[in-house]
Amino acid sequence: MGGVFYVVDKMTESGPSKPLNKCDYVPFQGCTVTWELHVDITVSFYLCVNPEVPATETGCPKADTTYLDTKVLKDQTRKWTHYFSFGDITRIGWQNLFGETAGAVLYEIVLGDVARCYHGDKSSCAWFASNFIPGKVFGKIGEAIFALDAALKTGIGVADAFKALRKLDLDPAALAKIEASVNAYEDVITTCKLNSFPGDTLVLMADGTRRPISAVREGDRVLAADPGNGRLRAERVTDTFRHDTERLVTIDLAGGSSLDTTAGHKIRTGEGVWVLAADLRPGDRLLGPDGTPRTVTGVHDRSGLAPREVYDLTVGGLHTFYVRTEGAGAADVLVHNCLNLADEDLADLADYADEMHTLKDHVNRSPAQARALATEKGEPKSIWTSQQIAQEAVEAVVLQNFNKLDASGNRVFDKAKWEAFVQSGAKLRDGGQYRTLTGTLHTYPSLGKVYFPNSTRVDDAGNNVVLIFMKVKKHKGNGRYGLVVKTAYPK
């Protein structure tokens, strides 16, 4: 998230000054007097969205500086000590400095120090800040941003932290930039390799039956819902995934049922928004296929479990499906499927067909077509062994780039790498490209073949992967700006 800093816009006298000691001086000698001053200070707050630079007025580039708010700190009372030389007293006059009407002259001197601060005198700025800016100057805005930054670092409580920030009177442009960072965070952590359900979780099929998610296969049809209007329709499963996890979130619902899922899975609420499982709170309502909301009564985050196999699906078209809670009063709730290469073929992403080309150029090509493409482009072209391996590789690269193991062996966010990635995409427009990510899929020694222009030469690709994300807004599963894979290929 970067950091918050403030800039002093102006300072004005708010009340009469009062000397705390007398000026006892003799000719040709000065005196030191301490005054009690009363001032109103106008302060503007800014967010530096670049975490790699100092969050200060001079340290944060203008392009990375976002205005947050302006506050007037009323009647700040501070002690001000100043040495008046004999020359000062002679030039200004003893009565002007220490008499009953001394206030205006004194404030001219004080504000002179402030003016030097405005014009780059760092020593004056240090004096001014230490004497007149209260310790809790950032108030609720700063505290809310610091809380959101901590949540993004740990992956816990992001929704609550952002919700608290939205309640404050922030500049709309600033809030939009912060929301872009939160949205990108959610898109990256809701990948298939990170978020799934236990194998016995029941999925609502298109024919009204229910099947354990571990038994659902590619080509099966499940009941999906359009998040925009709630309409139901059958959609085909385009991919299935499974992996081990040591962390599950148990969501308790009114009526006695519960649902186990990984922390980053998105679940649709009755308020029409997607919420990460770990960010659900008692009182939230989950959406059923008949529109009936199911109230959350408790959320239990369980880490350090024995490794357990979990599963997820990719559903074409709407990117949603229903899972069944367990226990008394069991209900179906709407969930979001994972990031997937099959997004490339979605009708609602047709406008990006020229940019999204993993399947088109690196999966669905015969050897002859691959050679022709290499010749057309004038450079080698790599083809994945299969779409499944390509998907595994995408998930592996995401995991490697944005996660690390902590001292306890738990997988947590790598804050430095994550923030750099977020900042690179925060300013992107629709269709903009994120920086290139690389990684390795260690499961296989080779991930495909490499074809060369004007040649019959064919080499085995290695197991290194190049991955490029693109920002899009025509993604019904998210209903907002999100991430899709622009291209991914083996090297």
Kindly report, residue by residue over 54-82, the tens digit of the pLDDT: 877 778 888 778 888 788 888 878 777 87
Cα 272 versus chain centre, distance: 20
| pLDDT for the residue 406 | 54
Q: Which range marks the domain in which residue 443 is found?
A: 341-490
Tokens of 424: 């690179």
- Asked whether residue 406 falls in the same domain as residue 276, the answer is no
How far is residue 222's CA from residue 240's CA, in Å, rounded to a whole number? 13
* The last residue of a domain, from among 336, 365, 400: 336
- Asked whether residue 304 falls in the same domain as residue 356, the answer is no
* The last residue of a domain, from among 132, 160, 177: 132
Please check whether residue 308 lies inside any domain of the structure. Answer: yes
Across the range 276-291, mean pLDDT stands at 85
**Residue 265's pLDDT band (cuts 50, 70, 90):** confident
| pLDDT for the residue 120 | 42
Q: Give the total number of structural domains in the chain.
A: 3
- Asked whether residue 65 falls in the same domain as residue 100, the answer is yes
- Asked whether residue 258 falls in the same domain as residue 302, the answer is yes
Query: CA-CA distances (angstroms) from residue 49 to 16, 162, 308, 413, 478?
Result: 41, 16, 38, 18, 24
- Asked whether residue 128 falls in the same domain as residue 201, the answer is no
Please check whether residue 150 lies inside any domain of the structure. Answer: no
Task: Evaluate whether 339 touches 191 at the Cβ level (below 8 Å).
Answer: yes
Please check whether residue 170 lies inside any domain of the structure. Answer: no
C-alpha torsion angle, residues 59, 61, 64, 70 (rounded to 10): 70
Q: Is residue 409 scored above 70 in pLDDT? A: no
Please check whether residue 291 lies inside any domain of the structure. Answer: yes
Collapsed DSSP state (helix, strand, coil) of residue 266: strand
CATH code where residue 331 lies:
2.170.16.10
Q: Is residue 399 scored above 70 in pLDDT? A: no
Collapsed DSSP state (helix, strand, coil) of residue 17: strand
- Asked whether residue 440 falls in the same domain as residue 470, the answer is yes
How far is residue 105's CA from residue 92's CA, in Å, rounded to a whole number? 9
Place of tokens 């809380």: 147
Burial of 425 (0-12, 13-18, 19+ CB in 10 A): buried
- Identity of residue 109: I
Across the range 453-482, mean pLDDT stands at 77
| pLDDT for the residue 333 | 84
Structural Rg of the chain based on CA atoms: 30
Please check whether residue 80 lies inside any domain of the structure. Answer: yes
* More confident site: 304 or 381: 381
- Asked whether residue 266 falls in the same domain as residue 346, the answer is no
Please check whether residue 203 lies inside any domain of the structure. Answer: yes
| pLDDT for the residue 92 | 76
C-alpha torsion angle, residues 386, 241, 438, 186 (rounded to 10): 140
- Asked whether residue 317 falls in the same domain as residue 355, the answer is no
Percent of the chain with pLDDT over 90: 23
Please check whether residue 154 lies inside any domain of the structure. Answer: no
DSSP 1: -
- Asked whether residue 256 falls in the same domain as residue 380, the answer is no
- Asked whether residue 361 falls in the same domain as residue 275, the answer is no
- Asked whether residue 355 falls in the same domain as residue 244, the answer is no
Please check whether residue 172 lies inside any domain of the structure. Answer: no
482-490/202-204 β-pairing:
unpaired
- Asked whether residue 417 falls in the same domain as residue 352, the answer is yes
* The last residue of a domain, from among 308, 336, 364: 336
Q: Is residue 137 scored above 50 in pLDDT? A: yes
